[in-house]
Amino acid sequence: MAELPPVPLTLEGSSLLHQMFRFRWREWRGLPQSRREGILSEAVSWLQGLENGKTEGHPNQSAAYAQLGHKGDLMLIHFRDSFEELSEVELALAQTEISDFLEPTHSYVSVVELGLYESSVKTYAALAEKGIEPHSPEWNAGLKDVMDRSAAAMAPRLFPRIPSSKYLCFYPMDKKRGEQINWYTAPISERQRMMQEHGAIGRRYAEDVRQIISGSIGFDDWEWGVDLFADDPLVFKKLIYEMRFDEASAVYAAFGAFYIGVRLPPEKLSRWLSGGSTT
């Protein structure tokens, strides 16, 4: 059989911005109580508005997480309909009073992505059987048809609500292009098989962990971002450890830094800022 085109079809949804901040505790505690209350009150209501998102169209929510360790104190994640809207929320935050106490330490820009490896292989093979030339108008139309139908079926996963889980784990990743190990030169049928095995592990954890994959080629320094949401952070470890032994990860994956956060609903911001338990 002739070689199929190598590029898998993908669907894109919400634009996604992660922001990590260190909080300037010393300056915060140096403020008079009344000033802190004013700032807090503005921050809570701003964050509440973002967390609720929109009632029409895509949810387009934001959420806050208390981070562990020196990588940052506070992580915000924003789902929006465009990069321009992400820019707007970033600028709006820069106008809040609490932003005086937020020192950016990291960020990540991506777009929610669903990879259609299985459909790609099927569709490419079907079009090839019909003798349709890749990149011909007919071929393009055939792909568009598949993608449109998939996008409609998967809309809630493309423009997701933010899971209410207590813990978030975020990390970026690449597929390796090494001297001998190169994901991008492996045949698409091989990659499809590996992604299927990879996905099978994820499905065994589906009850305990919700996963949102976003693509960042052209947007940020890694190829994908992964957000995992769970009520028990141990499942992050168990899931990722188990996956590390599957071929797609063991052989081909490169991982960036890992960020872990505890969900910080707006109504707990006050306790967080005064060092009280957020439980």
User: d(Cα 59, Cα 50) in Å, to the nearest integer?
Assistant: 10
Is there a contact between 231 and 169 (Cβ–Cβ < 8 Å)? no
Max Cα-Cα span within the chain: 75
Q: How far is the CB of 138 from a second copy (least distance, A)?
A: 15
**Among residues 35, 45, 54, 92, which is the contact residue for a second copy, using CB under 8 A?**
92
Stretch that binds a second copy, among 32-40, 117-125, 143-151, 269-277 (CB under 8 A): 269-277
Q: Candidates 37-45, 52-60, 146-154, 212-220: pick the segment binding a second copy (CB under 8 A).
A: 212-220
75, 194, 260, 269: residue in contact with a second copy (rule CB under 8 A): 260
Q: How far apart are CA 99 and CA 96, in angstroms?
A: 6
Determine whether 205 is an active site residue.
Answer: no
Enter the tokens of residue 160.
Answer: 């997701």
For the four alpha carbons of 93, 39, 49 and 266, in that order, the dihedral sign comes to positive
**109 forms part of the interface with a second copy (CB under 8 A):** yes
Q: 233-238 long-range CB contacts below 8 Å, 24 or more apart?
A: 233/167, 233/169, 233/260, 235/205, 235/208, 235/209, 236/167, 236/169, 236/209, 236/260, 238/205
Q: Is there binding between residue 17 and a second copy (CB under 8 A)? A: yes
Q: Which of 134, 228, 115 is nearest to 172 (CA)?
A: 228
Q: Which residue of the set 65, 171, 205, 259 is catalytic?
A: 171
Among the listed residues 182, 190, 196, 267, the single contact to a second copy using CB under 8 A: 182
Q: How far is the CB of 68 from a second copy (least distance, A)?
A: 5
Q: Which of 29, 35, 122, 144 binds a second copy (CB under 8 A)?
A: 29
The region of 50-58, 125-133, 142-150, 247-255 touching a second copy under the rule CB under 8 A is 247-255
Residues sharing a CB contact under 8 Å with residue 205, sequence separation 6 or more, in sequence order:
235, 238, 239
Of 66, 67, 72, 79, give the one whose Cα is nearest residue 106.
Answer: 72
Cα dihedral 120→229→233→22 (10° resolution): 110
Query: In whole angstroms, what is the distance from residue 78 CA to residue 161 CA?
Result: 11
Out of 177, 190, 196, 267, point to the residue binding a second copy (CB under 8 A). Answer: 177
Q: Which of 25, 41, 133, 196 binds a second copy (CB under 8 A)?
A: 25
Restricted to residues 130-149, the positions that interact with a second copy (CB under 8 A) are 135
Task: For a second copy, give the closer residue by CB, 162 or 227.
Answer: 227
Segment near a second copy (CB under 8 A), from 42-50, 119-127, 154-162, 254-262? 254-262
Which C-beta is closer to a second copy: that of 75 or that of 162? Answer: 75
* 206 near a second copy, rule: CB under 8 A: no
When binding is defined by CB under 8 A, the residue of 37, 145, 190, 221 that contacts a second copy is 221
Other CB atoms within a 10 A radius of the CB of residue 66 amount to 18
Residue 227 makes contact with a second copy by CB under 8 A:
no
Residues with catalytic function:
171
